[in-house]
Each structure stands twice: as C-alpha cells, then as structure tokens.
Amino acid sequence: MIPINLAGKVALVTGVGDNQSFAWFIAKALQAAGAKLVFASHPRMVNIVINLLDSDKPDDVEARVLPYGAGELKPELVVACDVSYDTMDDVDEKTKNDRRWNKHGDFTIKGMIDQVGPKYGGIDILIHSVAFAAEIKSKAVDTSRKGYLGALSISAYSLTALTHACAPFMENRAGGASIVGLSYLGGDRVVPHYGGGMSTAKAALQIDAKQLAHNLGAKNIRVNIISAGPYASRAASAIGDIDQMIGYAAQRSPLPRGITPDEVGNAAVFLCSPLASAITGHVLYVDCGYNVMGV
Ligand SMILES: NC(=O)c1ccc[n+]([C@@H]2O[C@H](COP(=O)([O-])OP(=O)(O)OC[C@H]3O[C@@H](n4cnc5c(N)ncnc54)[C@H](O)[C@@H]3O)[C@@H](O)[C@H]2O)c1
C-alpha cells in the first residue's frame, strides 16, 4: 500500500468559517493523514468555529468525524486573521475600533504569523481557502472600482501576502512544503452570477500561484491550486442560485453528479503529500470533469 503520512507536519489552514467550508473538510483530511492543524479564521468567524469544535449537538459532533476512522477534528490553535491587512498600519480606524476585530489583538497577517510561526518552529502546509467580493451579484460591467479592487485584495492578493509571510517558516522543510489555494472555473470562463471582480480574482489567483511556484521552487515550496466544482457553502450561497449551478454542472459533467467537499479534502492532501513532490504551479480541477465540456 502507498501511505500518505503527514505525521509531524504543521498545517496552517485559512478559510474555516463553519463546518461546511471547504477548509473544514481539507483540515479533516489533513488531520486524518497525521498533520497538526492551526486555523487562521476571519476575526468574526473565530467564535463560531470554536463553538462548532466544542458543540455537543449531534450534527456538529458528526461534522467533526474524520475520514478513515481517524478520530475527531481538533486543531491545536484557532487564531484570528483578516487577510485584508498585512500589518496593523494598514487597518482603518473604523475596523481598529470594532470590538469584533480588536478583541483578538493583532488580527492582521503579521499578527497571525507572529503567533504561529515561532510557536511551531515551522510550517509545512498552507491552505488558502478565502474569498470575498462585496459586489459578487453585480455583472462585471456594473462592478465599481472599490468592489473590484476589494475582491482582488481579499481573494487573490492574500495568497501572495500569506505566502510572503509564511515563506521564512516553510523554507527547506524536510520533504518540502506545500501551499494549496482554491479557485473556480469562473476564473477561466464566463460564469454568469460570478461577478463583482470575483472571476478576475480567480484568474489572478491562478497565475499568481504559478508565479509563486517559480519564485519558491528553489526553497522546495510547492504552490498549487484546486479548481473545485460548485458546492453550497456559505460563500457560494451568496452568489445567488448556487443550487441551480450545482444541478447544471452535475447534468453536464463527465461524471454526472456534483462534487463532495471530502473530494476536495482528499485532493488537497494529495497535493500536500510526497506523492505530489514534482507537482507545482498546477491547477487541479476537482469538478467531476466539468471543465472539459464545450456545451
Ligand atoms: N463553494 C464553491 O462552489 C466553490 C467552488 C470553487 C472554489 N471555491 C473557493 O473555495 C474557497 C472557500 O470557499 P467555501 O466555498 O468553502 O466558502 P466559505 O464561506 O466556507 O469560505 C470562505 C472563507 O473566506 C473567509 N474570508 C472572507 N473574507 C475574509 C477575510 N478578509 N479575511 C479572512 N478570511 C476571510 C470567510 O470567513 C470564510 O471562512 C474560496 O476561495 C472559494 O472561492 C468555492
């Protein structure tokens, strides 16, 4: 049998907002393979995530069960990180004075890395599973400059910012380090309802991952993207008719069904494992093959 053994690896997972997030399923798969988890969640989501990790409600307990009978999801640490901000110098006064943010202390990328990097002595895996566009329901032609640049900042530049901040802790790790981001076909093709700068952000994320793969390859850090099929997470439900998008893709995909979030988790573990040691700068479609279709 070929083992995937991530025992002793430290995985920093962004984008866990609830127990439906792709990042939740990626985290479960990484822990099932042996990795230690640190969650860096949006300041407003930290308490929600901690409550879901502690909850005794049967559905919440069930949502924590790891695949392969590997136990229960248990990150070592949940820290706050708003990826809009590199350091506290970038934070506007309104956010600085907002209790939902400032109760976490330094909630910027620097503040998060300062808590995580030295504590664990290194980071082997970084998962970027963050996206937001305030005007996602606007057509491209109607998107404001502010909405467009905001979508690019949070959903695309954050990969570069997080990678820049994490790289010193990811360099020359035993077996190499791995960064995985999440994209969607709307970054390659026109998907109606995927507006507000989000399709541009996904296109940017994909080429940025290739650039970063080139920049960091000599340090044995690999950077890849999973382009996932549509799935009804909290973020996707903001797009509009996500159920219709899922049904449409399911009917037309070579594998005639929707994806499950576990399948995204499994693909992420593969990309973070030694089995993918020569794979970098790649966009892996986990979409039941929908991306190959012309009609
Ligand atoms: N659900 C889908 O259909 C689908 C398909 C392909 C790709 N994706 C991508 O998967 C990734 C995860 O999305 P999801 O579907 O799991 O939804 P989700 O809502 O569970 O995850 C999005 C996360 O982004 C976080 N976030 C937003 N703004 C942030 C900020 N400023 N700082 C820190 N965190 C912030 C949210 O708190 C949330 O945890 C996203 O990149 C998304 O575009 C989703």
Give the distance (Å) from ligand 1 centre to CA of residue 14: 9
Contact between residue 155 and residue 128 where contact means Cβ atoms under 8 Å apart: no
pLDDT of residue 239: 80
pLDDT value at 240 more than 80: no
**32 contacts: CB under 8 Å, gap ≥ 6:** 66, 67, 68, 70, 71, 269
Give the span between the Cα atoms of 116 and 114, in whole angstroms.
6
Q: For a pLDDT cut of 90, what percent of the chain falls above it?
A: 93
Of 12, 126, 149, 182, the residue with max ligand 1 atoms within 8 A of its CB, to mutate for a pocket test, comes to: 182
For 261, other C-beta atoms within 10 Å of its C-beta total 21
Give the distance (Å) from ligand 1 centre to CA of residue 171: 27
User: What is the tens place of the pLDDT at every residue in 219-237?
Assistant: 999 999 999 999 999 888 8
Taking the CA of residue 81 as reference, the ligand 1 atom at the shortest distance is 33
**92 contacts: CB under 8 Å, gap ≥ 6:** none
Taking the CA of residue 128 as reference, the ligand 1 atom at the shortest distance is 41
Nearest to 131 by CA among 190, 198, 187, 217: 198
Give me 163's structure tokens. 């990678």
**Atom 39 of ligand 1: nearest residue by CA position:** 17
Give the distance (Å) from ligand 1 centre to CA of residue 130: 4
How remote is the C-alpha of 288 from its chain's centroid?
A: 20
List, by residue number, the catalytic residues: 184, 194
pLDDT of residue 79: 98
Give the distance (Å) from ligand 1 centre to CA of residue 69: 27
Domains of the chain: 10-287 (3.40.50.720)
Give the distance (Å) from ligand 1 centre to CA of residue 128: 9
Give the span between the Cα atoms of 168 and 280, in whole angstroms.
19
Ligand 1, CB within 6 Å, residue ranges:
15-17, 21-23, 42, 45, 81-84, 129-132, 154, 182-184, 228, 230-231, 233-236
Q: How far is CA 286 from CA 70, 183, 237, 260, in A?
A: 23, 10, 19, 10
Give the span between the Cα atoms of 202 and 200, in whole angstroms.
5
Of 28, 47, 95, 184, the residue with max ligand 1 atoms within 8 A of its CB, to mutate for a pocket test, comes to: 184
Contact between residue 281 and residue 225 where contact means Cβ atoms under 8 Å apart: no
Taking the CA of residue 228 as reference, the ligand 1 atom at the shortest distance is 6
Taking the CA of residue 84 as reference, the ligand 1 atom at the shortest distance is 31
As to burial, measured by CB atoms within 10 angstroms (0-12 exposed, 13-18 middle, 19+ buried), residue 77 is middle
Nearest to 126 by CA among 160, 150, 155: 160
pLDDT value at 3 more than 80: no
pLDDT of residue 194: 92
Instruction: With cut-offs at 50, 70 and 90, classify the pLDDT of residue 15.
Output: very high
What is the dihedral sign for C-alpha 17, 86, 11, 230? Answer: positive
Instruction: With cut-offs at 50, 70 and 90, classify the pLDDT of residue 182.
Output: very high
pLDDT of residue 35: 98
**Atom 17 of ligand 1: nearest residue by CA position:** 235
